Amino acid sequence: MESEKELKMEKYGYEEALNIAKKGSHCGMCRFDFLGTGLCPSGKENGFLAYWPQGRMQIFKNLMTGKVKPTEKLKDITNSCPLCGICDKQCNFATKLRPEKVAKALKEYTNNLDESEFQDIFEDEIIKGLREIVGEKWVTNDPIITSAYIQTIIHPDSDLNHYVVMPETTEEISKIIKFANKHNIPFMPRSAGTLLSCATPTVLSKAVCLDQGIIIDLLRLQKLEVDSKSCTATVGAGITAFELQKEAYKHKLRANLAEAGAHVCANIASTGITSTWQNRYGWAADNFTDLKMVDDKGNIKNITDLDIKNPYTTERGFSDITLSAPGIITECTMKLHPVFDDEDIVFVPFEHLKDALSMIMKLAKRQVGLSLIVLSRKYFSNFLCPTNEIAKDFEYICKKYLKFNWVVDVICNKDDKKIIEEMADFTIDKEMMKTIMLGAPKLSSLKESEFMKVLSEEENPSKAIFAGPMRKHLEKGLEASPEQIAKVYDEDLSEFFKNVYSRPHMTDIMWHHAFRILPSRLMRQRLFFAQAGMIWAADENKILKLVDMLSEVCDKHKFEHMLGFILPMDDGKYAFFEYDYYYDHNDPDAVKRVSKALIETTENCLRMGDILMVLNYLFKGVYRKEHVLYPIPRAITEEEVSLFRELIQMILGEEFEW
Amino acid sequence: MVKFLSDEWNNYGKEYIIKKLDPTKDLKNVTTSLLAVIENIPPNDTTMNFYLGIEDGKLIDFIVNTGDKFEEKVAVFTVTGNYGTYKSILKGDMSMAVALLKGRLKLKGSKMQALKIIKPLDGVIVSLKEITDEFED
């Protein structure tokens, strides 16, 4: 059977398209306009994920692997795609993929089908009932459309017994939930789906996905209003971080936001919004003044209502794991913060994490800086470099020649900048960062050069090249320009990217900290799992021990890994860490190894104490940080370890071997 | 095999749990009680509950009632969910632990305490799965 499929793909020349589709990571960068290209016209018009580039890639993969059979809707999906190429531009910037090739293959495949190959879809009473709530266009049980949601809310082995409904208002969501309860149908909201896409290949899949029932796709809740007087923005559940930030910046205000494609409301609900600004702007309930939610009975309430029980507190402890939010946030009123005229950015490179950590925690405790983070060379390289290959070489140079393994990255006002400059041996400024960004391909090409070998003999090679006498030579040698960086893109996209990099904000590293379009590059053609948590930061050695432990476990399970970043929060009392496991999500063996490491490191962290792991703060973003983080988590006892293992076993099922 | 929440289910269930579950091995000699509230029961959207009382691993009470309250005894834990959720659990599509974590079942009582007895309780649910094959549509 498998060889028949392969023959079919070979016959139609679909191998390349399938290869692209398989690498799709559902980063969601094709669903908002971050390059000024406009949006995919098909997705914009039809809403359902199936009509967006990422959905088409998933559908193609599903069809080619026999997961789903064609229906009449497939014609609609392919016909609505004008092959305009917007998706190629957006996706190429983020992940280096060419989704239009998949769209073309899907079109061709559909056109070549015999009419008898399209299966009929039968409507049931549930579809009719949901239609009465949201209208004819916005509900479906067509498996071609529902299958687009595989990997981001539907488990890949699921029977596809799902409905997708796209409400436009909170009231419609309330009615859907009441209807679902009356008919005993499970339901789950879906926003960008990226968090779920990272969890779905792992052992967490069945616990986080919707096994059957109604997917409430929140994309149509598009309210976005900034009130500059109160420095707040009212944001609907369909609005992305990028869209809110763009609106806020028009008023010289800034929101505390996660990655560009994250939907703001869902991001509050799931992880409380993790950002480089969180030491200053806060976390979880610090981010909003009000939330509108629909609870699991379908009741609409505002978090500021007087007659509800304290909405800001939650249970604590290792056993308190929650895999769903306390309700669907349909609208939030986000706090906005002023953008100051004298803001600047400073980078301080370090060879050792210990030193970088020491500096960032000092700054955090003294409340110096607005945005504070320690980035690993891996993040730094991946963010700045336009391709995986360049990023890999860039990272190699950082490690081997420059002793540039960690960088303290601070956005601050001019007074704070002086403090940092006094603390640091040298700094890298905004202009140099622009040069590095545009010159990354050239710099990476120096991987085996004599110049690098000579440079590495300097006492502090990073200082010599970025802030010392060699800076001028570097600036000249890199030939950093939009023309240079555009050359690394496919020939037909080169001119477009030359224009993109010519726009001042695209090389403004401060703009990138607010708009966060670069983190999607970490999902370039493969997924990663972010093992994250918050650690009480009084003992910096304990943070270093934690990093060593994570590294050892990952080494044991044999996959690529590295600490992504550490960022202080709560005035440096806590440190948020993200340690990333990189793997090919299409390789079942790699998935197994990553899953084992995930559970093992979670247990080890609980044993260490002072750490709140992601499993214990997930879906607690609506609460006050003081109620989530305090009292400081203590190390669990051996008896509790057994209970934890029992709980995990029950969540994950029999297939998980300890 | 009997229909969920029917008189036969109640009688047969009690008999089956006593016969099949070992107080020490399966029920870990726990002493606890659980009130399971089942909402949205078709066809009339009604609510029922069943009360389980276990003492030293031995089933003492297994009582099915109508409504969302059981006044005769006070349960240590109350779990509330809709009929579809209980159906999924009894059909083996979802464990009780996952239903609780996903918010499909709401727990009233200490989560930490619940964790300590959830495995034995899961054993009870698994045994009920063995005798239940009919549900309301």
State pLDDT tens for residues A342-368: 999 999 999 999 999 999 999 999 999
| Tens digit of each residue's pLDDT (9 = 90 or more) over A4-19 | 555 566 656 799 999 9
* Alpha-carbon gap, residue A594 to B74, rounded angstroms: 44
Whether B102 and A650 lie within 8 Å, measured CB to CB: no
* Alpha-carbon gap, residue A51 to A134, rounded angstroms: 19
Helices (H), A336-488: 353-365, 377-384, 388-400, 414-423, 430-444, 450-456, 461-466, 471-478, 482-486
How high is the mean pLDDT of chain A? 94
Residue A369: what are its φ and ψ, rounded to 5°? 90, 155
As a three-state string, the secondary structure of A243-312 is HHHHHHHHCCEEECCCCCCCEHHHHHHHHCCCCCCHHHHCCHHHHEEEEEEECCCCCEEECCCCCCCCCC
A→B contacts (Cβ < 8 Å), by residue, are: 181-186, 206-207, 211, 296, 315, 317, 319-324, 326, 643, 646-647, 650-651, 653
Grade residue A2 by pLDDT with cuts at 50, 70 and 90: very low
Grade residue B126 by pLDDT with cuts at 50, 70 and 90: confident
Helix, strand, or coil here: A222? coil
Enumerate the residues of chain B whose CB falls inside 8 A of the CB of residue A296.
103
Helices (H), A112-193: 125-134, 143-146, 170-182
Whether B98 and A206 lie within 8 Å, measured CB to CB: yes
Whether A186 and B104 lie within 8 Å, measured CB to CB: yes
| Tens digit of each residue's pLDDT (9 = 90 or more) over A59-98 | 999 999 999 999 999 999 999 999 999 999 999 999 999 9
* Alpha-carbon gap, residue A387 to A392, rounded angstroms: 9
pLDDT at A658: 66
How large is the average pLDDT for residues A204-213? Answer: 87
Grade residue A457 by pLDDT with cuts at 50, 70 and 90: very high
B→A contacts (Cβ < 8 Å), by residue, are: 39-40, 42, 45, 82-85, 87-88, 93-98, 101-104, 111-112, 115-116, 118-119, 122
Contact between A430 and A510 under an 8 Å Cβ cutoff? The reply is: yes
Task: Judge residue A328's burial from the number of C-beta atoms within 10 Å of its C-beta, 0-12 exposed, 13-18 middle, 19 or more buried.
Answer: buried
Q: In chain B, whose CA is at the least distance from the CA of A327?
A: B103
Highest mean pLDDT out of A1-10, A308-317, A447-456 = A447-456
Contact between A244 and A172 under an 8 Å Cβ cutoff? The reply is: no
Whether A651 and B98 lie within 8 Å, measured CB to CB: yes
Whether A207 and B98 lie within 8 Å, measured CB to CB: yes
pLDDT at A460: 93
* Alpha-carbon gap, residue A521 to A386, rounded angstroms: 8
pLDDT at B123: 81
Q: Which residues contact B85 (CB under 8 A, 6 or more apart)?
A: A184, A186, B94, B99, B104, B105
Contact between A615 and A602 under an 8 Å Cβ cutoff? The reply is: yes
How large is the average pLDDT for residues A456-477? Answer: 91
Token duo for residue B82: 């809709």
Task: Determine which helix (DSSP H) or strand (DSSP E) holds A224, and give its type and residue range.
Answer: strand A224-227
How large is the average pLDDT for residues A442-449? Answer: 93
Token duo for residue A334: 């986000």
| Tens digit of each residue's pLDDT (9 = 90 or more) over A215-254 | 999 999 999 999 999 999 999 999 999 999 999 999 999 9
Q: In chain A, whose CA is at the least distance from the CA of B38?
A: A184
Q: Which region holds residue A83: left if phi is over 0, alpha if psi is between -120 and 50, else beta?
A: left
* Cα A238 to Cα A138, A193, A500, distances in angstroms: 15, 12, 26
| Tens digit of each residue's pLDDT (9 = 90 or more) over A146-175 | 999 999 999 888 889 999 999 999 999 999
pLDDT at A656: 64
Whether B102 and A643 lie within 8 Å, measured CB to CB: no
Residue B52: give the domain boundaries. 2-134
Q: Of A185, A186, A651, which is closest to B97 when you measure between CB atoms?
A: A651
Residue to test with chain B: of A315, A650, A651, most B Cβ within 10 A? A650
Whether B115 and A211 lie within 8 Å, measured CB to CB: no
Grade residue A468 by pLDDT with cuts at 50, 70 and 90: confident
Q: Is the peptide bond before B43 cis (omega within 30 degrees of 0)?
A: yes
Q: Which residues contact A178 (CB under 8 A, 6 or more apart)?
A: A297, A298
The yes-or-no verdict on residue A441 having pLDDT over 80 is yes
Which of A509, A498, A526 lies closest to A35 in space, CA to CA? A498
Q: Which residues contact A552 (CB under 8 A, 6 or more apart)?
A: none
How large is the average pLDDT for residues A180-193? Answer: 95
Whether A653 and B95 lie within 8 Å, measured CB to CB: yes
Cα angle at A323 between A319 and A328, to 5 degrees? 135
Grade residue A655 by pLDDT with cuts at 50, 70 and 90: low
Which CATH number goes with the domain that contains B57? 3.30.1050.10
Instruction: Provide the CA A172 distance to its chain's centre, in angstroms.
Output: 28
CATH topology of domain A224-338: 3.30.465
* Alpha-carbon gap, residue B22 to B44, rounded angstroms: 38
Q: Which region holds residue A29: left if phi is over 0, alpha if psi is between -120 and 50, else beta?
A: alpha
| Tens digit of each residue's pLDDT (9 = 90 or more) over B40-93 | 999 999 999 999 999 999 999 999 999 888 888 899 999 999 999 999 999 888
User: Rounded to a whole number, what is the distance in Å from the CA of A218 to chain B's nearest CA?
Assistant: 19
The yes-or-no verdict on residue B97 having pLDDT over 50 is yes
Q: In chain A, whose CA is at the least distance from the CA of B40?
A: A182
CATH label, A2-217, candidates 3.40.50.720, 3.50.50.60, 3.30.43.10, 3.40.190.10 = 3.30.43.10
* Alpha-carbon gap, residue A305 to A308, rounded angstroms: 6
Whether B122 and A207 lie within 8 Å, measured CB to CB: no
How large is the average pLDDT for residues A610-634? Answer: 94
* Alpha-carbon gap, residue B24 to B43, rounded angstroms: 40
pLDDT at A647: 82
Enumerate the residues of chain A whose CB falls inside 8 A of the CB of residue B92.
none
Enumerate the residues of chain A whose CB falls inside 8 A of the CB of residue B83.
184
User: Rounded to a whole number, what is the distance in Å from the CA of B98 to chain A's nearest CA?
Assistant: 5
In chain A, the percentage of residues whose pLDDT exceeds 70 is 97
Least confident of A602-616, A635-649, B74-88: A635-649
Q: How many domains does chain B have?
A: 1
pLDDT at A543: 98
Q: Is the ipTM of this complex over 0.90?
A: no
Whether A184 and B42 lie within 8 Å, measured CB to CB: yes
Q: In chain A, whose CA is at the least distance from the CA of B87?
A: A184
